Structure formats: C-alpha cells, structure tokens
Amino acid sequence: MVVPIPEGGVQVELVCGLLLWFGATCQGGPGPAQRDALMREEASRQIGGRLALTAAEQRLDARLHQLKEREMAAPSFPPAVHFFKAKLLIQRSPIFGLLQKMPKGGALHIHSSTLVSVDWLVKNVTYRPRCYICFTWDRSIRFLFSDRQPFPRWDCFHWQLLETLRAKMGDATDFDKSLIRNLTLFTEDPDAAYPSQDIVWEKFEKAFIVASGLITHAPVLRDYIYQGLEELYQDNIMYLELRSGLSRTYELDGSIHDKVWSLKTFQEVAQRFVGDHPDFLGARVIITVHRALSVADVKAAVKEAMQMQRDFPHVVAGFDLVGREDSGRTLWYFKEALLLPADMGRVLPYFFHAGETDEEGTDVDENILDALLFNTTRIGHGYALAHHPLAKELSRKGNVAVELCPISNQVLKLVSDLRNHPAAVLMSEGHPMVISSDDPSLFGTTGLSYDFYQAFVGIGGLKANLATLKELALNSIRYSSLPPPLKQTGLAMWQKKWDTFISAGFKELNQKGTRLI
Amino acid sequence: MVVPIPEGGVQVELVCGLLLWFGATCQGGPGPAQRDALMREEASRQIGGRLALTAAEQRLDARLHQLKEREMAAPSFPPAVHFFKAKLLIQRSPIFGLLQKMPKGGALHIHSSTLVSVDWLVKNVTYRPRCYICFTWDRSIRFLFSDRQPFPRWDCFHWQLLETLRAKMGDATDFDKSLIRNLTLFTEDPDAAYPSQDIVWEKFEKAFIVASGLITHAPVLRDYIYQGLEELYQDNIMYLELRSGLSRTYELDGSIHDKVWSLKTFQEVAQRFVGDHPDFLGARVIITVHRALSVADVKAAVKEAMQMQRDFPHVVAGFDLVGREDSGRTLWYFKEALLLPADMGRVLPYFFHAGETDEEGTDVDENILDALLFNTTRIGHGYALAHHPLAKELSRKGNVAVELCPISNQVLKLVSDLRNHPAAVLMSEGHPMVISSDDPSLFGTTGLSYDFYQAFVGIGGLKANLATLKELALNSIRYSSLPPPLKQTGLAMWQKKWDTFISAGFKELNQKGTRLI
C-alpha cells in the first residue's frame, strides 16, 4: 500500500484558516486569546448567551458556578438518577434553594388535574363531609361527594363514606398514605414499580381518573384552582396557562354544571386570586381534548373551543390534544378538524403536544412537523425536536417555543440520565424554550423549581448560568399567549421581582460568606 | 386581566407563510402534497438523505424498513437495553444478519490492545508453551512468556506456568472462562457489576493491562495483528486505522524490541494479509500516548511520531492522546506539545479523542473545540459534539468526521438507552460521521456489525435507511487518512463489493420471500 503524505505547511494553514474565520490573527498557532474568542462565540449561542449581566448578577453568577461545580463533583449527581430518588438530594441543594426564591415568570405547561399537590387533596379535600370512596376491581379507587349513598357504577359497586372508613382504620396516617399512593406516581423504587413506558403510563392515566372524582366536585374545584395558584405563587411564579379539558362538575345532589361553568369558575377564582395577590399577573386556559377521540368529536371540540374563546377571550388561550402520543392518534389524523379554524377564516391558537416520544421516524414522531404545519404557537415537550433539523429551523424562525418538562420526561421513561436529554442541544443553541412541570402532583413536585433545577444543573450543565435562568424566566412571559401590552406589564412586574431577588441574593452572599441566600 | 385576542386571518396567513417558504402553493391549508414536501426536505438532511438509490437498492430498503418496524414494535428493543443483555437479541435480528454481510468499508477507531476477540487470546495464545500467569493482590492477573521462571515483579510475586496450572484445575473450560473474565468487560449483569463510570473504567483499564502481557510478546503480536485483520475481514471490512501506542515487545529470553520494531511488524503483517486477501485495502496506525503523561513526555512523543511518520509514511496516519478524558488532562493542557508540528512548519495529522464525556461545560468538555483548534482530522467519539453548536459548524464545514462508537458509549455508561445518544442529532443533520467499535474485545463484539446495528436501528431510528448505511460505509473511506488516489481505489473496491451485496440481497429476497438474506 502506497500512502504518500503531504509534507509541510498544511497543518499551519488550516489552523490559521480556522482562526482567521473568526477574525483572529494567526501567528505561532492558536493562542489563549484566539481560543477564548472561540469559547465566547460558542457560549454566546446558548440560552441567555447574549444577555449582559449587571455587576450584581455577575457576582451571583460566579457563586452559582462554584456551587454547580461542587454539585457536579459529588458522588451522586441528582439529574443522573431518577427524580424520585433525587428529590431529597435536590432539596438539600443550595442551587435549588436559590431557584425557589427566583422569580420564574409563568408556568405554561401544566395539566389541570395534576396542578395541586396530592397532600392538599388528601389532607383537605378527602376530609370534607359527604366524601365517598369505592375500591375498583383493579385495585384502584374512586371518590364521589354525594348527599346520599351513591349508586353502584360500572367501575365501582360498593361506595363507603370515607369518614366512616377512615375511623374504622386504626391509623389514619397510614390510610391517608394509601390514598396518596393512588393519586401520584411517586414511589421509593421507581425502577421496580415502573419497568416500562407502558406500565408507567397506565398508572399515570389511572391517577388522573382517581383525582377526577375529587376535583370535579364543583365546590372543590373552586378551592382547588385557588390552591393551585397559591402553590405556584409560593414558588415565585406569577402567571399560569393551564391545560384543561374543562370537565363538567357535579354538586352534592348529583346535578351537573357544563364546561362553561368550569371556565367561568376558573376566571372568577383567578380574578379573586389576583385581587388577593396584586403581584400575580393572572391565569389562562388552554382547552384540551383527548387524542383517543374520533375526528368528528375533535371537530366538535375545535368548534366549541372557538366559541368559548370568542365568549371568554381573556381566559381562553387556545387548544391542544392530550393523552399519550405513542399510543394515540397523530395530529395529521385530525387534520380535517385542526384546519377548521383556517378554513373558516378564524383564529384558534394551538399549543400542541408534539414529539413526546422516543420512537424516532415513526408517524408519532412526525407530530413535530405537523404541529408546525398547523401553526402551533408553542410545542408541548418537543422531546424529539432536536432530531428534526427542519422542524428545529422552522420553530426557531417562527419563535415557536418548546415547553421543556424534564422531570415528566424522566418519570415517563423517555430518558434516565437527564444529561442525555435532547434539550441539551436546544439549550446550547439558544432555541426558544420555557420550563414547565407538566403534572406536578403526579411527580411529587410543586411549582417549577424542581424542573428548573434539572434543566439548569442537569441538561444545561456547567455552562448554563444566571443569564440562562434569566432568559428562561423572561421567555415564559415572552412566549406566553398574552397580548403584547400584557406581556409588557408582565415583563415589568417580573423585572421588579428579579431586581429584588438579585439584590437579596447579593446581600445575603456578602453577609454570610459561603451561604448563598 | 384583559387579554384581547386578534380576530381572523392570522392563522391562515402563518400556515401559508410556512408553505410558501418551501415554494409550495397555499390554498385551503396544508395538503398532503405540501406536507410531503416538508417531510422530504427534512429526510434529505439526514446521513444518506441526498443519495439516490437504484431500483434494487430501493427494494432492499423497503424490506429493511419493514423489518425495522417489526423490531421497533417488539417488547424488548435491543438498543434500549445494555448491549451485554441485547447481544443475543441482536444476533437473532435479520437486520443484523444483513449488516454482517454488508461491505462496511473501513474501521477507523479501534485500539490495538482490544482488536482481537478474547476467545482467540485465551484459546490460542494462552495455550502456547512457556506462558506464565501470576495473580495480583487486587485479584487481577498478569501473563508473561518466558524461557525461564520469571522474576517477581512489583505487581506480581508468584509466577506459575499456565500449562501446569490449567492441568491442576479439574475443568479447563471453567478455568478459561475465568481468564476470559479478566480480559473483557462482558458480564451477564452489567448494571450490578458496573454501578458507575468510575468502576467500569477501572475494570476497563485493568483489562488492558491483563492483555498486554500476551500481546506484547513479539511472536504473538505478529499473529495477533493477522488475526485482528482476519476478524475484520470476516465482518466485511476492508480497511483499518488502528490506534496504537506501539508498545515495546519482548522475546522469550527477555530481550526487548523497540517501537519501530512494532511498527515494522504491523506493516509486514498488513502487507502479508493484503497479499492473502487481495480485496482487503490495507491498514494504518494512529500513534497514541496516554493523556496521563507530562507535557514534556507528550512533546517527546509528538516528535517521535513525526519521525516515525517521516520514516514510515505509508503506515503512520497520525497521532492521538488516549485514556479516559474525564480523569485525564485536556488537549489544551498539552498545547505546547500539540503545536510543535505547526511551530516547526511540519505536518502531523491529529485524530483526537474529544468529548467522550457527559460533564457538559467542564474543561474536559472543551476538548471538542480544542481538537478543532489543533486541526484534528477526525474526532474520536465526539459524544458531546451535539451540545457544541460552534464546534458542530466548524467540524461540518471542515469535513471533520465524528467516529461514533455507540456500544462503547453505552458500556462506559454515558448513555443507557441508545435512542438518547446525542449522535441522533448529528445523524439527522447529515454530519460527517463514521461508525466504529473502539474496543471490540472488551465489549464482546467483533467487526463493526454490532455497532452498525445500534447506530442504524437505535440511534438512527425508523428514518435511517439503506442510503444511511451506504453513506456511512462510503464515509469510512472518504474520511480515512488515505491519500486521494488510494481513496479512489478504495471506493472502487467498495462499490464492487456493494453491488454484489445488493444483488445477492435482492436475489435472496426474491427467492425466499420473507427471509431477507
């Protein structure tokens, strides 16, 4: 074999070419200055990479960097293990403490049935009078509030008054724990409990049904929404876009309220909450239907959503399809329904779940491009987006933000070590993105701080910094469904909170030395 | 809260805008034709996306697609589980059968100490006369060929003649199995055996040391190289670039040959192998040193490599640093050494390992940009590349191919489910890439078929097709260190093999109906 090797010059020329390409000089090979220029150029592309930080922000950022280095060097790195095992570690993290205090803007991807912590549901709601419970054949439970002994239903024959049953049980704490287990996915050994996506999704959907009996009781719904907003507010969140199917609700006597009642109730409660908390911006609803429905049903739902948006323009943000993408119907399957607004010359903003899958190249995977084709305003999850170069380009150019829900993706078994979450690519490129929590009650979180932690420490790695956090928070207002004037109001409100946060963090740092905040 | 919603028109305009952007017409919303245009545009960007397939190739491709759909729907998807558990599943896959028969071009990233299957080392080499064994304090073993009882060494006191010891053991099969366990990472319960990266890397580096006593025996080395080429040839590989530290070798009487002897031996054996197998293109060496060395040592190694490349231009391809990146020194640390050739106006092509890490944003992670800054010809692993937008752009523009070794990355615990391997991003974007096996003997593979399977079925997903495979194979010649005329020779040789492969696969398909090949 004859392999002539070119002699001399080539290597130097190429190195120089690379440097000259970046406007650097080229003498004696790449020096620290040229290298720094490359590193800076690359860092500038990530989320927050083009934000200039104030002196106070820079000092806080430097401290954050130190803390992150320490956390990455520890033997157990929380984002690398299942959240159910990492939760206690995260709670001990000073970075997490900071994130809790940080004004995070809006929560744009949360489902209504999983908005409020399970503790509140069990400790508050199930202790209310006239709450009945029933055990199903598949060892699940149902709840129902009723002023008389409920009739047997197809899924549940024997209803017992919860108060009586709880009194019969020796240990109410244990009993309540068993109720909690039915309402959340949280468990100490998630790998054993959920060996596959199918199994975790089955439990996931069961938990939704369990909660529904409590939440759809009309008086509970009112308190539930308020409590949900309160929990977000406690986590320094100032705005919510809630995905909700607007279930019909029931009264003690079995009478039923329609969807419009739920929508009005949501609006009233949100207004009351804003009245009680003037630094909370508000809340809107993204109306959802399940992707298991027929085209005709989804058509009807789209029409209904258009009508509700016309009637309640301040509260209805738009429309989405929910349910597991992998086992459900694709967006393209519903094209006739989804094109209705365009066909009628009307507007119904879409906020589609798309690409919450690891089945690369399948029909389900194509939801990503179809969501864009149907002009979605944001992409729910977009787990598969990084593998779709064209869709990535389109969503970037169109300012279509991805709603990243890291803990959800891990618990629902798309990824085990969050450092491998494909959103790392999107973060490094500065793709439009917001952070959300999807189903906080099911995953044992409240607010967004846990998901921010995973995105910031795990997915973003050491290079994600305070500017990344700032941009992610800003994005949640910027990419919300709010009209421009309200976005301005929101941004101003947020900036005030942010300034307070920075100066408090900064002061604390100066006072306590090593403690962060 | 006041949220005015714009009325009418906007949605239609945006959908149309998206379509017009792609030169499609826009009447009545996106239709199947427009959608297909988007899908085709996206598909064209992946590896192989711009290759036109012949009719015969298209028919084989259609069959491959069916088979892949079936494999993805099966309850246990091999790329999603640890390779040590998936290996038997993969062996039963008809896609794997096809990949074994496919001419795969060159293997560009294999380390010399792990080139040959452990079975051959134990069944052949350890049965040779005058092979001594010694058990170390940390329950590892050492081998040594010697014409007399070897002296005790710092790591090993009591040497026994292997032949005698084996005879003493009742069951030679069991004994040989225990030898095998010392030479490979393969085990039935990898999660229990290797709970962390640190532990798997410790075993990894131990296995290298165990093998060295066998391989560095001069007469063994000769057969070893031949056997290594034979195993690649059996897997339809026609070219090798072997990373080798060119260890000194020893004779029975303890006399030592220098590195040049190893290089000459490699050249002679490769020439003999090509003589015996005229459809094998040849083999070259990438000279390596360990990144644990000092700058001065690496300087000396760079100088030595330049000299050897000058003396053996047909066989020396270039230079690399090896050893675990996470715990070793960075490329930038060695800058003085690595800039030596450029400073001297000379050429030493680099083939740097870079970004074999999940420690995003750390100094180690910066090896990716530094490898490019030092003008690397290819990037070994580049696991972190997808998270480096600038480096990705530079390597794409500079035709710097990534050497993807999926099984290695999984076994060394960078990723568990290969669908989450960041190279999925690179594949979807058509990034310059070749597939290799890194350390086949340690992972229990031979050839490249297993790694091709993981890249094709797991990382590439359903959308990776026969054109992807074709381009990956072509890339291995295109991005090799061969000078242009030899690349042409190689490409012509490969094309002939490919045509035979396609027509054989095609015929078989016609004859046997459902069986692929």
Tell me the C-alpha distance between B250 and B147, whole Å. 12
Distance from CA of B148 to the nearest CA of A (A): 40
Judge: A387–B6 Cβ closer than 8 Å, yes or no. no
Handedness of CA A359, A362, A367, A368 (dihedral sign): positive
Residue type at position B18: L
List of residues 6+ apart from B406 with CB closer than 8 A = B79, B418, B421, B423, B435, B451, B454, B455, B458, B459
Contact assessment for residue B358 and residue B335, using Cβ atoms and an 8 Å cutoff: no
* Nearest neighbour of B343 by CB, restricted to A7, A28, A284: A28
The backbone torsions φ and ψ at residue A405, rounded to the nearest 5 degrees and listed phi first, read: -125, 80
**Tokens representing residue B408 in the block:** 């290695």
* Nearest neighbour of A12 by CB, restricted to B15, B345, B422: B345
Per-residue confidence in pLDDT tens, chain B, 517 aa: 333 333 333 333 444 455 555 544 445 567 889 899 999 999 999 999 999 999 999 999 999 999 999 999 888 999 999 999 999 999 999 999 999 999 999 999 999 999 999 999 999 999 999 999 999 988 899 999 999 999 988 888 899 999 999 999 989 999 999 999 999 999 999 999 999 999 999 999 999 999 999 999 999 999 999 999 999 999 999 999 999 999 999 999 999 999 999 999 999 999 999 999 999 999 999 999 999 999 999 999 999 999 999 999 999 999 999 999 888 899 999 999 999 999 999 999 999 999 999 888 888 899 999 999 999 999 999 999 999 999 999 999 999 999 999 999 999 999 999 999 999 999 999 999 999 999 999 999 999 999 999 999 999 999 999 999 999 999 999 999 999 999 999 999 999 999 999 998 766 655 554 444 4
**Residues of A with catalytic annotation?**
356, 381
Contact assessment for residue A298 and residue A334, using Cβ atoms and an 8 Å cutoff: yes
Place of tokens 């306590």: A512
Per-residue pLDDT, A3: 34
Judge: A483–B5 Cβ closer than 8 Å, yes or no. yes
Distance from CA of B421 to the nearest CA of A (A): 7
Contact assessment for residue A451 and residue A410, using Cβ atoms and an 8 Å cutoff: no
List of residues 6+ apart from B40 with CB closer than 8 A = none
B289 membership: H or E segment, kind and range: strand B282-290
Judge: B339–A29 Cβ closer than 8 Å, yes or no. yes
- Listed residue (A319, A353, A294) closest to A244, CA to CA: A319
B contacts of A18 (beta carbons < 8 Å)? 372-373, 375, 394, 398
**Tokens representing residue B427 in the block:** 């594949």
Residue type at position B515: R
Per-residue pLDDT, B510: 54
Catalytic residue among B356, B366, B403, B471: B356
Judge: B30–A313 Cβ closer than 8 Å, yes or no. no
Distance from CA of A253 to the nearest CA of B (A): 34
Contact assessment for residue B400 and residue B351, using Cβ atoms and an 8 Å cutoff: no
A contacts of B371 (beta carbons < 8 Å)? none
Distance from CA of A360 to the nearest CA of B (A): 5
Mutate to test the interface with A, among B428, B462, B468 (most CBs of A within 10 A): B428
Per-residue confidence in pLDDT tens, chain A, 517 aa: 333 333 333 333 444 555 555 544 445 567 889 899 999 999 999 999 999 999 999 999 999 999 999 999 888 999 999 999 999 999 999 999 999 999 999 999 999 999 999 999 999 999 999 999 999 988 899 999 999 999 988 888 899 999 999 999 989 999 999 999 999 999 999 999 999 999 999 999 999 999 999 999 999 999 999 999 999 999 999 999 999 999 999 999 999 999 999 999 999 999 999 999 999 999 999 999 999 999 999 999 999 999 999 999 999 999 999 999 888 899 999 999 999 999 999 999 999 999 999 888 888 899 999 999 999 999 999 999 999 999 999 999 999 999 999 999 999 999 999 999 999 999 999 999 999 999 999 999 999 999 999 999 999 999 999 999 999 999 999 999 999 999 999 999 999 999 999 998 766 655 554 444 4
A182 membership: H or E segment, kind and range: helix A172-183
A contacts of B39 (beta carbons < 8 Å)? 366, 369
Per-residue pLDDT, A507: 66
**Tokens representing residue B83 in the block:** 């390779």
> Which residue of B lies nearest to A397 if distances are taken between CA atoms?
B18
Strand ranges, E, within B129-245? 131-135, 141-145, 159-161, 237-244
Q: Number of CB pairs < 8 Å for A and B? A: 249
Total Cβ atoms within 10 A of residue B510: 9
* Nearest neighbour of B462 by CB, restricted to A343, A361, A375: A361
B contacts of A421 (beta carbons < 8 Å)? 420
* Nearest neighbour of B342 by CB, restricted to A5, A29, A486: A29
Total Cβ atoms within 10 A of residue A432: 20
**Tokens representing residue A91 in the block:** 């709670």
- Listed residue (B351, B353, B356, B416) closest to B384, CA to CA: B356
Catalytic residue among B109, B381, B388, B431: B381
Strand ranges, E, within A268-362? 282-290, 316-322, 353-354
Judge: A18–B375 Cβ closer than 8 Å, yes or no. yes
Give pLDDT tens digits for A67-101: 999 999 888 999 999 999 999 999 999 999 999 99
> Which residue of B lies nearest to A12 if distances are taken between CA atoms?
B342
Mutate to test the interface with A, among B387, B456, B486 (most CBs of A within 10 A): B387
A contacts of B72 (beta carbons < 8 Å)? 359, 362
* Nearest neighbour of A415 by CB, restricted to B313, B369, B420: B420
**ipTM summary value:** 0.90
A contacts of B365 (beta carbons < 8 Å)? 461-463
Handedness of CA B415, B419, B425, B426 (dihedral sign): positive
The backbone torsions φ and ψ at residue A239, rounded to the nearest 5 degrees and listed phi first, read: -160, 150
Contact assessment for residue B470 and residue B98, using Cβ atoms and an 8 Å cutoff: no
Give the β-pairing of A237-244 and A282-290: parallel
Residue type at position B11: Q
Contact assessment for residue B467 and residue B487, using Cβ atoms and an 8 Å cutoff: no
A contacts of B370 (beta carbons < 8 Å)? 35
Per-residue pLDDT, A505: 76
Residue type at position B392: K
pTM score, whole prediction = 0.92
> Which residue of A lies nearest to B394 if distances are taken between CA atoms?
A18
Judge: A35–B373 Cβ closer than 8 Å, yes or no. yes
* Nearest neighbour of B314 by CB, restricted to A2, A39, A460: A2
- Listed residue (B430, B422, B394) closest to B406, CA to CA: B422
Tell me the C-alpha distance between A134 and A147, whole Å. 16
The backbone torsions φ and ψ at residue B196, rounded to the nearest 5 degrees and listed phi first, read: -145, 165
Residue type at position A218: A
Tell me the C-alpha distance between B43 and B37, whole Å. 10
Secondary structure tally for chain A: helices H, strands E: 23, 13
Distance from CA of A216 to the nearest CA of B (A): 25
- Listed residue (A108, A97, A99, A91) closest to A469, CA to CA: A99
Per-residue pLDDT, B157: 87
Judge: A483–B361 Cβ closer than 8 Å, yes or no. no
